Amino acid sequence: MTPRTPFDGPLKFAMAATFLTVLLGCGGSGSKSNSTAPGVAVETAPARIEPIANVIRTQGVLYPLQQASISPKITAPVERFYAQRGDRVHRGQLLAVLENRDLAAAAAAAQGSYDQARANYGSATSSTLPEEIQTAHLNLENTKSNLNAEQQLYRSEQQLYKQGAIARKQLDATQVALTAARSAYDTAQKHLKNLQSTGESQQRAAAKGQLEAAHGQYLGAAAKLSYTEIRSPIDGVLADRAVYPGDITPAGTPLLIVVNTSKVIARVHVPESQAVQVKVGDAATLAVAGLPGKFPAKVTVVSPALDPNSTTVEIWVEANNPKASLKPGGTVTVSITAQTIPNAVVIPAAAVLTGADGKTSVMIVGPDSRAYSQSVKTGIEQGALVQIVSGLHAGEQVIVSGEYGLPDKTRVKASPAAGAESAGA
């Protein structure tokens, strides 16, 4: 069995027809010049200098800007709701109250204990000194007075002894009494200091400890009471309410759900090769089936890591949603403008030929009306246009129709392709 070649079938037939046309144009006798032979009909378009953008299109799912599932911290019946489904609520707004009479009583008792502890602490820190310290103060004053008296007596008797008025024995007895008075004063002084540094400080520390304990109990009781008031942590809309007044919601079970849809976030997953071109702040648009027009958006998050399951990168695109047209949970088409080149050489994508080796080329029409193969390097693609990074200059005519299987240097008859005058506009 003879192997098939790339020229078998319709392509082989087209090549044969093209070759026959060229031979007929040349004339069987060779009397006519090859330059006057009719060429193969092709359609062309000029290479242009235009801006081109790398737009990444993919599908994503919409999420609200914020969502709060509000769960009570205690288990108690719902006493009353202050908001209904669909109501707009504000951060800190009271949405529901749980039955709390027992907790209110416990908070009141803790408040009383705390007030009493504060009074005791004030008394311990600002009132007169304890009785023992007062006695020590009085003893110190007495011993100081006695010491002063003994000192004066000793100085007087010293003068009398020098004058010979008294005996040495009497002066020695007075000196002993002075030493005893000084020792008594020192002892009284140390005793008072010890009382002040230990007794008084311990009393104040005890009063402070009682105050702190009472304060902690009060804060705990007040916190438990506050748990019975269910407030919104965000601005938004009350999207769901799980129970009715009188029902008991176990602690930790969602009671209310509040969503903020003033903005929505489309989460998409793109291949790593495309994600490296995307950065935070890039412009984007969202399109929803059934809604007219596109919604302007921007990239707010580019995940720094690959999804281990899909080996793609998650990107968040945020859009304003003032009229609540975009519904969380819906599917949208996301277009991200990852890169824009203002002055690029662009041609119709249909003009690019890709060889078996992966190399790209185009067929250009030379001044002699012949087709020439030209290797090119492509860049960004946008719709029906492709950027030519190298190998082509603005103004050169590329063949966009009829170039497949066309031999190099074949004479052609070129006509502008449909829309070629406004290609890329």
How many domains does the structure of the chain reveal? 4
Residue 81 and residue 61: Cα distance in Å, rounded? 32
Write out pLDDT tens, residues 224-258: 999 999 999 999 999 999 899 999 989 999 999 99
Region of poorest pLDDT, from 96-105, 172-181, 261-270, 366-375: 172-181
Report the CATH number that the domain containing residue 92 is assigned in CATH: 2.40.50.100
Q: What are the start-end ranges of the H helices in 228-304?
A: 272-275
264 plus 358 within the same structural domain: no
Token pair belonging to 16 = 């044969």
What pLDDT does 37 receive?
58
Write out pLDDT tens, residues 58-88: 999 999 999 999 999 999 999 999 999 999 9
What pLDDT does 169 receive?
82
Domain end among 321, 340, 359: 340
201 plus 309 within the same structural domain: no
Largest CA distance in the chain: 175
* Degrees, nearest 5: CA angle 71-72-77: 125
Q: Does residue 14 belong to any structural domain of this protein? A: no
What pLDDT does 210 receive?
86
Spatial neighbors of 236 by CB under 8 A, at least 6 apart, are 64, 66, 68, 88, 89, 258, 259, 260, 261, 262
199 plus 269 within the same structural domain: no
Domain span at 336: 55-66+259-340
Mean pLDDT of the chain: 84
Q: Does residue 385 belong to any structural domain of this protein? A: yes
Q: pLDDT band at 314, cuts 50/70/90?
A: very high
388 plus 333 within the same structural domain: no
Report the CATH number that the domain containing residue 280 is assigned in CATH: 2.40.30.170
Spatial neighbors of 415 by CB under 8 A, at least 6 apart, are 41, 42, 43, 44
Report the CATH number that the domain containing residue 410 is assigned in CATH: 2.40.420.20
Residue 132 and residue 33: Cα distance in Å, rounded? 137
What pLDDT does 302 receive?
95
DSSP string, 377-409: EEEEEETTEEEEEES--TT-EEEEES-TTPPTT
Q: Tell me which residue of 113, 78, 108, 68 sits closest to 225, measured CA to CA.
A: 108
109 plus 194 within the same structural domain: yes
Write out pLDDT tens, residues 271-302: 998 898 899 999 999 999 989 999 999 999 99
309 plus 378 within the same structural domain: no
Q: Does residue 163 belong to any structural domain of this protein? A: yes
Q: Does residue 141 belong to any structural domain of this protein? A: yes
What pLDDT does 420 receive?
62
Cβ 405 vs Cβ 11: under 8 Å: yes
304 plus 398 within the same structural domain: no
Q: Does residue 139 belong to any structural domain of this protein? A: yes
Spatial neighbors of 337 by CB under 8 A, at least 6 apart, are 53, 54, 55, 282, 283, 284
Residue 264 and residue 284: Cα distance in Å, rounded? 13
Q: Does residue 45 belong to any structural domain of this protein? A: yes
Cβ 245 vs Cβ 50: under 8 Å: no
What pLDDT does 129 receive?
54
More confident: 307 or 93: 93
318 plus 351 within the same structural domain: no
What pLDDT does 25 receive?
45
Q: Is the pLDDT of residue 8 over 50?
A: no
Region of poorest pLDDT, from 163-172, 341-350, 391-400: 163-172
Q: Does residue 412 belong to any structural domain of this protein? A: yes
Q: Is the pLDDT of residue 190 over 50?
A: yes
Q: Does residue 86 belong to any structural domain of this protein? A: yes
Burial 3-35 (b: 16+ CB within 10 A, else e): eeeeeeeeeeebeeebeebbeeebeeeeeeeee
Domain end among 340, 369, 404: 340
Residue 325 and residue 286: Cα distance in Å, rounded? 12
Residue 358 and residue 361: Cα distance in Å, rounded? 10
Sheet bearing 229-231, strands edge to edge = 229-231, 94-98, 76-81, 248-249
The total of other beta-carbon atoms located within 10 Å of residue 392's CB is 21
95 plus 235 within the same structural domain: yes
Residue 206 and residue 193: Cα distance in Å, rounded? 20
Residue 282 and residue 270: Cα distance in Å, rounded? 15
350 plus 413 within the same structural domain: yes
Cβ 29 vs Cβ 293: under 8 Å: no
Angle between helix 200-226 and 101-126 (nearest 10): 160
Residue 196 and residue 129: Cα distance in Å, rounded? 9
Q: pLDDT band at 6, cuts 50/70/90?
A: very low
Cβ 171 vs Cβ 161: under 8 Å: yes
What pLDDT does 157 receive?
85
Cβ 279 vs Cβ 299: under 8 Å: yes
Strand (E) positions, 7-46? 40-46
411 plus 353 within the same structural domain: yes
Token pair belonging to 390 = 């190298």
Q: Is the pLDDT of residue 28 over 50?
A: no
Query: Phi/psi at 7 (nearest 5 deg)?
Result: -100, 5
Q: Tell me which residue of 318, 328, 330, 324 sits closest to 265, measured CA to CA.
A: 318
Q: Is the pLDDT of residue 113 over 80?
A: yes
Q: What is the mean pLDDT of residues 352-364?
A: 91
Region of poorest pLDDT, from 112-126, 175-189, 288-302, 316-330: 112-126
112 plus 43 within the same structural domain: no
Q: pLDDT band at 130, cuts 50/70/90?
A: low
More confident: 201 or 177: 177
Distance of CA 253 to the CA centre of its chain: 26
More confident: 327 or 191: 327
Domain end among 340, 359, 391: 340
189, 190, 191, 196 alpha-carbon torsion, rounded to 10°: 90
What pLDDT does 419 receive?
67
